[in-house]
Chain A
Amino acid sequence: MKAYDIVIVGGGPAGLAAAISARESGIESVLILERDKELGGILNQCIHNGFGLHTFKEELTGPEYAGRFIQKVLDMEIEYKLNTMVADISKDRVITAISREEGLTRIKAGAIVLAMGCRERPRGALNIPGYRPAGIFSAGTAQRLVNMEGYMPGREVVILGSGDIGLIMARRMTLEGAKVKVVAELMPYSGGLKRNIVQCLDDFGIPLKLSHTVIDIDGKDRVKGVTIAQVGSDGKPVAGTEEYISCDTLLLSVGLIPENELSRGIGVQISPVTNGPVVNESLETSIDGVFACGNVLHVHDLVDYVSEEAHMAGKCAAAYVQAQKLGNTEEFQGGRAVSLKGENGVRYTVPVFVRPEHMEDTLTVRFRVGNVYKNASVCTYFGDTCISRRKKRVLAPGEMENIVLKKAEIEKYPDLETITIRIEQE
């Protein structure tokens, strides 16, 4: 059985950044396992621009953004295996992988970084009634067909869900000559970034119907049309608002689910809110030496934040391995834990707890809100004491938010048990 200090599962943006930072932290033996035929993950099909504004201070396309990290991996001569699917990971960090070239292989890892990304929710998750014809695609599948394979999934399109991929695909399909008739969104607000609504819908005159959903799919062999209807505050269709829209394609952009089948297999504790692992300030999961970052941890809005988070995971995995080599991983694991809690509109936090003695001088805590808030404040409480209030013009579920915790500040509260983040209206 081969052995590596750090094995990274997934060669997308999270895996690449984690590998680079692990190497930068002094770990020589790093391996990336990637199931696709090239590194870069989902970025390879995201040919639109807008990536990297935070990281590189310029606008890159997805493949360009990935390319910068891939080049670094190559320059650093970090080992990677393509076309390799991880089938199983055991608690003692033995990875079983399958590939055409090497068959079934087992790899022992000192530490593991989970970076498998996420997948799209399918039609069934919404239980949309109707026929099951050709012409129903998740937005990401359609994106792959158009951008990577060079085929058009349809001519007349209805998009359900205003997640970012759906918005991007509304523009892409339009640019390719298809007619996007409407984007219907179940919620009274969009799940995507504001800039995408402006640049992908408004600029092309594509209507966005909020509080609308698809209630029937017509066409036995190929989609002929869909019926959309307004939904009430109870989430149910409002009688009399049904509208039949003829189309040959229905694209679904109805949410992303972190892909944690492997994590569950190891026994990693999963948050029911994020569907990602429960992690501490070092992005370590409930299983020793197993770290997580990127969309497998929680679904991000911007890849820049994925890279930032993965950088942290790679660094912490390196620290774990270094402690392991000295035989003191227990020290890595101990320490007082302060739990982090989202409340009053804050749906979750990543991480879920922080151990002051292990944190760096600052720690970025990421979260999402559950509704749209205008002129509200993000408030941080140490116990009952409000220690920070940051006013925001708009907070929306589609955009990830963060606060930065300072180690020095937490150390002033030696008995602190809970840090709470709340949204408060002025």
Chain B
Amino acid sequence: MYDAVIIGAGVVGSAIARELSKYRLNACVVEKEEDVCCGTSKANSAIVHAGFDAESGTLKAKLNVEGNAMMEQLSKDLDFSFKRNGSMVICTDEAGFSVLETLKARGEKNGVPGLEILNREQLMALEPNLSDAVIGALYAPTGGIVCPFNLTIALAENAAVNGVEFKFGTEVESIGRTDSGYTVTTDQGTIYAKTVVNAAGVYADKFHNMVSKDKIHITARKGEYCLLDKNVGNYVSHTIFQLPSAMGKGVLVTPTVHGNLLVGPTAADIEDKEATNTTREGLDFLIEKAKESVKDLPIRQVITSFAGLRAHEDGDEFIIKEVEEAPGFFDAAGIESPGLTSAPAIGVMVAGMIAQKLGLEANPNFVGTRRGIPHLDAMKQEERAALIRQNPAYGNIICRCEMVSEGEIMDAIHRPLGARSLDGVKRRVRAGMGRCQAGFCSPRTMEILHREVPLSMLELTKSGPGSEIVVGRSKEMEGM
């Protein structure tokens, strides 16, 4: 019997798992995919929002500002990339200024520090590539950018090191009540737990509705993005938002924390919660739309495009509470933007509720820090040379675009909750994330996975079962 079972190993589930591991308890995370960070957490704007968007008094506003404030220390404790690059909401007409004033006032009420409205002249000094139409902007110095993969991986890894169990490839089918808690039936067997945390992203409504008559409804709201080459990663240095609309914060242009340029997202409500495909209309729309923010968008530098699904609940608010008619069942549902920013604060909040419910004691053995996988290309030469002397595999470059070594890929595999697929490696150490999009390194990364996991070449996948990369040996195809 677990004290707590968390459904979903996205950033929210992982943050809750890590916060729970500060207590003495027996907890596990179940995840239908083969790895952490496979859903919404991997395909979003990777922004740490300042916190002026959400209506004051909402959980979204509160947790955004709290999460933002936590991010810097967390990035040091858990060693993931985070940068406070500052954000701007631009306007292109006089009427826009009143919206900026409203956002500023709201932000100040929400507790966002340092907000300022800048005129065109001030803006051009900061961002010379802004479009000619921009006449002013709300500047938020606390806005930031983060690596959503390594944030999630770091939280999960740290939770695992502190005793939380992770069960991958395990899909929850039903949830039942017992006298002492819950039975969570999965395709890999039944799990018994005193409490259940529902951090299932776009599927959170499904699990909530299994235990409650008070139904919730989550719409998958698709956001498409284009990622541009590092050549143009400094095209802007701040995150450039447009004025928000009913569907969200609009199309942004931002550097990523790894030095690419990111443009997106669109916002379209869809029926199919697995439809992470991009569309011609979507990509064309966001490219056109981004031109309102920056001039001469270097769109020929696109290296890949992707889509993520926001978990939008009808009530337009995070649902983070114990379900009234199902004591011990905690929702972390409707976590759309600013969900990534809020995740650390959501973790604290949910873990606190469970600790109180179960009367948990502090875990005296909790280790709150973790060193990430060394990123050799970012190191000083002497430091890098020393690491290669220690472990020569760090001297064997596998991914030429991102300059990722064999040693880093081996670390990605052998870490707690290590990578088992090409995408798992890519999210951890960026092999295949660069301008050739894995054309060069994928056969080499496959060899390392094959040797180190170990897995046969035929079992190797891009992103879990069903995504096998090769189908057989050559010279052995049927009919030949």
Contact = CB atoms under 8 A, between A and B. Distances in A.
Contact of B393 (A100, A127, A150): A100
17 contacts: A85-B397, A87-B397, A100-B393, A104-B385, A122-B303, A122-B436, A123-B304, A127-B226, A149-B457, A152-B477, A155-B471, A178-B477, A220-B276, A221-B466, A222-B466, A222-B468, A237-B280
Interface in B425-478: 435-440, 442-443, 447, 457-458, 461-475, 477-478
Contacts of A355: none
A56 interface: no
A98 B403 CA distance: 10
Q: Which of A101, A104, A152, A220 has the most CB of B within 10 A?
A: A104
Interface string A88-102: 000000001011111
Given A98-B388, A147-B474, 5 more contacts: A99-B395, A152-B473, A217-B277, A221-B464, A222-B466
A215 B278 CA distance: 11
B470 A103 contact: no
Interface of A: 35, 83, 85, 87, 96, 98-104, 119-120, 122-125, 127, 129-135, 137-138, 140-141, 144-155, 176-178, 215-217, 220-222, 237, 248
A414 to B, nearest CB: 42
B393 A140 contact: no
A383 B304 CA distance: 45
Given A122-B436, A123-B437, A153 B470 contact: yes
Contacts of B461: 134
B13 interface: no
Given A123-B304, A124-B302, A222-B467, A151 B473 contact: yes
Given A122-B304, A176-B477, A96 B470 contact: no
Contact of B469 (A120, A134, A144, A220): A134
B384 interface: yes
Contacts of B469: 134-135, 153
Interface of B: 226-227, 274, 276-280, 282-283, 302-306, 377, 381, 384-385, 388-389, 392-393, 395-397, 400, 403, 405-406, 435-440, 442-443, 447, 457-458, 461-475, 477-480
Contacts of A146: 474
A153 B278 contact: no
A134 B90 CA distance: 39
Contact of A134 (B282, B305, B467): B467
Contact of A101 (B392, B400, B465): B392
Nearest to B282: A129
A152 B474 contact: yes
B457 A131 contact: no
Contacts of B274: 220
Contacts of B279: 129
Contact of A124 (B303, B381, B457): B303
Contacts, number: 151
A129 B305 contact: yes
The 10 nearest A-B residue pairs measured at CB: A177-B477, A221-B466, A124-B304, A177-B480, A134-B462, A122-B437, A151-B470, A85-B397, A104-B385, A134-B467
Contacts of A125: 302-303
A132 B227 CA distance: 14
Nearest to B381: A104
Given A99-B396, A134-B462, A120 B468 contact: no
A176 B480 contact: yes
B381 A96 contact: yes
A101 B475 contact: no
B392 A103 contact: yes
Nearest to A148: B443
Contact of A129 (B283, B377, B473, B480): B283
Nearest to B475: A176
B273 to A, nearest CB: 11
B384 A120 contact: no
A46 to B, nearest CB: 15
Contact of A103 (B304, B395, B475): B395
A344 B190 CA distance: 73
B286 to A, nearest CB: 11
A96 B388 CA distance: 14
A415 B306 CA distance: 56
Contacts of A127: 226, 283, 302, 305
B432 to A, nearest CB: 10
A221 B463 contact: yes
A172 to B, nearest CB: 9
A144 B436 CA distance: 15
B467 A133 contact: yes
Contact of A131 (B276, B283, B377, B464): B276
Nearest to A151: B470
A124 B457 CA distance: 26
A284 B95 CA distance: 57
B240 to A, nearest CB: 21
Contacts of A177: 477-480
B468 A151 contact: no
A140 to B, nearest CB: 7
Contacts of A100: 388, 392-393, 395-396, 406
B168 to A, nearest CB: 15
Nearest to A132: B306
B439 A140 contact: yes
Nearest to A147: B474
A356 to B, nearest CB: 36
Contacts of A138: 436, 439
B395 to A, nearest CB: 4
A283 to B, nearest CB: 24
A421 to B, nearest CB: 26
A160 B198 CA distance: 43
Contact of B474 (A85, A137, A176, A217): A176
Given A103-B389, A149-B457, A178-B477, A134 B278 contact: no
A35 B477 contact: no
A337 B377 CA distance: 40
B397 A35 contact: yes
Contacts of A103: 385, 388-389, 392, 395
A33 B194 CA distance: 61
B395 A101 contact: yes
Nearest to A138: B439
B445 to A, nearest CB: 11
B471 A83 contact: no
A86 to B, nearest CB: 10
